[in-house]
């Protein structure tokens, strides 16, 4: 094993990105922020895009900042990001336009059109992936239906983190954990599911080879090295490129009695399993199987997370009312409990503008008192999300036969002590929060494994347990949460 090394982790999220420096000293990890930048969809001509070139310029700025501060080359660079979205390249490797956002309207009604050709049961049995209109499969089929010219010109499809790895190194491949988010991957064959793609007219030729997590794909392009001031070659590494897989990899003390919650714009709640669960019961309960950093799977449920409240805050900021998350948590702690509840995944709340108005309309439809103050809106979001987690925990225990005593929360939501306590109270089990920067830490850990600084994931998690501080929230039993759960079940959409 190598003694010590420092790595650059690029962590791209749907609302922002970070360039982080992570050091492993043969026993501990130390993470520091180098550069942070916002990310959001860009609306133009009736479509919603990602500004990937703008994001790439921010990544390069982060590399330059790293060099200015350290004057040395890192031992590796890895990139993780969100799933399902993709870019298309032509035969010469040129980008065919800006990638579209998963919330773009082009997939409206496409799920039903796919099910007219392939049954939902057959699709789930083949891929283990929950059918959601945002998935790569449905995005591509919308292009088939529209006879989109880009699809005919395309030579290669790359998911978002794989696109950035291509910008970095020139490698055209899709990493395993990202491939499993597309609903085009066959767990049984460990390859693309051609039997699904062919009936839909999706060209298998555009899908590149699939890389295992922790693969050194080559060196950073010379032009990037020179432009950012680096004088030595730097390995480019395909980490567990899906940010959820990186985040779960960085959770210390995960065991068979623990469930994870990756909490941010989306919440992803699940357990680690060796083999995917493609049963009809898992499909009916709306679970999905995504790849893990260890090469196994994460049996999880995708849940609309803090996006409801984030959208409210963004709307209010446009009106000149800017609140910090500290303000939000304080207001929530003093607001009336259980005024109104929702299933965060209700379609009536999946809007792109004026979320406060959408919530008021939803409450009117469901005969509940609408939130009015900051604290009431915050409690509406926090309590509803906590009750959703309670429902998902029960479903996970049913699917796995396990007793889940501990919920381990990572990501931005782990910093929200008010929410974490609500989750413990709602679910009646221990909640352990942290690390908040789990995706970046998992990215760094996979680089350390790929370069020989660590032997395996188990050794990495042991080092992380010595490196990060976590907070424990014990449940406070209350009849009020049980009554609220009964109300929530009446509102639940799945």
Provide the annotated active-site residues. 243
The domain tally of the chain equals: 2
Are residues 384 and 359 part of one domain?
yes
CA atoms of 332 and 306, how far apart (whole Å): 14
Rounded to a whole number of angstroms, the CA Rg of the chain reads: 22
Residue 85, C-beta contacts closer than 8 angstroms, at least 6 positions apart: 50, 99, 100, 101, 102, 136, 139, 159, 160
Q: What is the DSSP string of 362-429?
A: HHHHTT-PPP-SHHHHHHHHHHHHHHHHHHHHHHHHHHH-----EEEEESGGGG-HHHHHHHHHHHTS
* 296-311 average pLDDT score: 95
The answer for 45, left when phi > 0, alpha when psi is -120 to 50, beta otherwise, is: left
Instruction: Place 352 in a pLDDT band, splitting at 50, 70 and 90.
Output: confident
In-domain check, residue 473: yes
For residue 347, give its domain range: 251-434+455-494
Q: What is the pLDDT of residues 203-239, one digit of tens each?
A: 999 999 999 999 999 999 999 999 999 999 999 999 9
**How does strand 156-159 pair with strand 86-89?**
antiparallel
Which of 209, 238, 267 is the endpoint of a domain? 238
CA atoms of 246 and 426, how far apart (whole Å): 27
* 105-125 average pLDDT score: 97
Are residues 340 and 217 part of one domain?
no
- Reference 262, options 221, 271, 253, 94; nearest CA is 271
**Half-sphere exposure of residue 482, counting CA atoms within 13 Å on the CB side?**
5
Instruction: Place 264 in a pLDDT band, splitting at 50, 70 and 90.
Output: confident
In-domain check, residue 132: yes
Are residues 109 and 37 part of one domain?
yes
Are residues 232 and 268 part of one domain?
no
* 107-115 average pLDDT score: 97
Are residues 482 and 399 part of one domain?
yes
Q: What is the pLDDT of residues 420-463, one digit of tens each?
A: 999 999 999 999 999 999 999 999 999 999 999 999 999 999 99
* 250-279 average pLDDT score: 95
Q: Tell me, what's the pLDDT at 294?
A: 95
Distance from chain centroid for Cα 62:
22
Q: What is the pLDDT of residues 169-215, one digit of tens each?
A: 999 999 999 999 999 999 999 999 999 999 999 999 999 999 999 99
Residue 360, C-beta contacts closer than 8 angstroms, at least 6 positions apart: 370, 371
Q: Tell me, what's the pLDDT at 203?
A: 97
Residue 102, C-beta contacts closer than 8 angstroms, at least 6 positions apart: 84, 85, 134, 139
- Residue 270 neighbours by CB distance under 10 Å: 26
List the Cα angle 194/190/201 in 5-degree steps. Answer: 15
In-domain check, residue 365: yes
Residue 75: both structure tokens together: 């031992």
Q: Tell me, what's the pLDDT at 4?
A: 82
- 368: domain CATH number is 3.30.420.40
Instruction: Place 353 in a pLDDT band, splitting at 50, 70 and 90.
Output: confident
Q: Tell me, what's the pLDDT at 94?
A: 98
Contact between 371 and 359 under an 8 Å Cβ cutoff? The reply is yes
Beta bridge pairs of residue 262: 268, 410
Listed in sequence order, the DSSP H helices in 229-354 are 243-249, 280-284, 307-318, 325-334
- Residue 71 neighbours by CB distance under 10 Å: 10
Which of 208, 238, 268 is the endpoint of a domain? 238
Are residues 280 and 302 part of one domain?
yes
Are residues 185 and 147 part of one domain?
yes
Residue 33, C-beta contacts closer than 8 angstroms, at least 6 positions apart: 18, 19, 20, 21
* 290-312 average pLDDT score: 95
Are residues 408 and 274 part of one domain?
yes
Whether the per-residue pLDDT at 161 is higher than 90: the answer is yes
In-domain check, residue 101: yes
Strand, coil or helix: 23: strand
330, burial (CB in 10 Å: exposed 0-12, middle 13-18, buried 19+): middle
Contact between 299 and 124 under an 8 Å Cβ cutoff? The reply is no
* 104-128 average pLDDT score: 97
Q: Tell me, what's the pLDDT at 197?
A: 97
In-domain check, residue 70: yes
Which of 238, 262, 278 is the endpoint of a domain? 238
Q: Tell me, what's the pLDDT at 265?
A: 85
Q: Tell me, what's the pLDDT at 445?
A: 98
In-domain check, residue 450: no
Are residues 166 and 17 part of one domain?
yes
> What is the length of the chain?
494
Are residues 103 and 66 part of one domain?
yes
Q: What is the mean pLDDT of the chain?
A: 96
List the Cα angle 27/64/32 in 5-degree steps. Answer: 30
Are residues 288 and 360 part of one domain?
yes
Q: Tell me, what's the pLDDT at 1?
A: 57
The share of the chain scoring above pLDDT 70, in percent, equals 99
CA atoms of 49 and 100, how far apart (whole Å): 4
In-domain check, residue 143: yes
Are residues 330 and 218 part of one domain?
no
Which DSSP helix (H) or strand (E) runs through 51? none
**How does strand 406-410 pair with strand 430-433?**
parallel
Instruction: Place 2 in a pLDDT band, splitting at 50, 70 and 90.
Output: low
In-domain check, residue 334: yes
Q: Tell me, what's the pLDDT at 477?
A: 83
CA atoms of 200 and 198, how far apart (whole Å): 5
């Amino acid at each position: 094993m190598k003694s010590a090394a420092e790595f650059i982790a690029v962590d791209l999220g749907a609302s922002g990105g970070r360039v982080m420096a992570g050091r492993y000293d043969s026993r501990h990890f130390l993470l520091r922020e180098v550069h942070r930048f916002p990310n959001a969809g860009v609306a133009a001509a009736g479509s919603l895009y990602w500004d990937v070139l703008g994001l790439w310029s921010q990544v390069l700025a982060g590399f330059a900042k790293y060099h200015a501060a350290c004057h040395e080359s890192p031992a590796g660079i890895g990139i993780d990001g969100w799933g399902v979205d993709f870019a298309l390249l032509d035969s010469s490797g040129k980008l065919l336009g800006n990638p579209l956002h998963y919330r773009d309207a082009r997939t409206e009604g496409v799920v039903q059109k796919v099910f007219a050709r392939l049954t939902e049961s057959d699709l789930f049995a083949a891929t283990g992936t929950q059918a959601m209109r945002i998935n790569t499969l449905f995005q591509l089929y919308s292009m088939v239906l529209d006879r989109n010219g880009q699809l005919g010109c395309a030579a290669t499809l790359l998911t978002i983190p794989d696109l950035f790895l291509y910008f970095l190194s020139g490698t055209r491949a899709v990493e395993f954990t990202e491939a499993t988010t597309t609903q085009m991957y066959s767990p049984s064959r460990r390859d693309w599911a051609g039997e699904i793609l062919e009936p839909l007219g999706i060209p298998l030729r555009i899908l590149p080879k699939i890389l295992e997590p922790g693969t050194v794909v080559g060196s950073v392009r010379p032009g990037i090295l020179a432009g950012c001031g680096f004088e030595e070659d730097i390995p480019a590494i395909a980490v567990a490129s899906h940010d959820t897989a990186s985040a779960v990899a960085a959770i210390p003390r995960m065991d068979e009695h623990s469930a994870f919650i990756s909490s941010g714009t989306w919440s992803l709640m699940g357990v680690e399993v060796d083999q995917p669960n493609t049963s009809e019961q898992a499909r009916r309960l709306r679970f999905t199987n995504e790849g893990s950093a260890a090469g196994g799977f994460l049996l999880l449920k995708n849940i609309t997370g803090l996006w409801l409240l984030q959208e409210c805050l963004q709307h209010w900021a446009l009106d000149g009312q800017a609140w910090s998350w500290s303000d939000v948590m304080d207001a929530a702690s003093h607001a009336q409990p259980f005024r109104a509840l929702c299933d965060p995944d209700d379609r009536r709340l999946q809007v792109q503008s004026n979320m406060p108005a959408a919530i008021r309309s939803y409450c009117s439809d469901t005969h509940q008192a609408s939130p009015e103050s900051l604290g009431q809106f915050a409690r509406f979001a926090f309590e509803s999300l906590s009750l959703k987690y309670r429902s998902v925990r029960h479903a996970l225990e049913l699917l796995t036969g396990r007793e889940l005593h501990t919920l381990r929360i990572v990501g931005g939501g782990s910093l929200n002590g008010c929410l974490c306590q609500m989750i413990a109270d709602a679910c009646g089990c221990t909640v352990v929060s942290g690390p908040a920067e789990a995706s970046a830490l998992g990215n760094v850990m996979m680089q350390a494994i790929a370069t020989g600084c660590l032997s395996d994931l188990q050794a990495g998690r042991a080092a992380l347990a010595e490196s990060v501080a976590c907070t424990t929230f014990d449940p406070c039993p209350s009849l009020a949460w049980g009554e609220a759960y009964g109300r929530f079940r009446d509102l639940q959409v799945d």
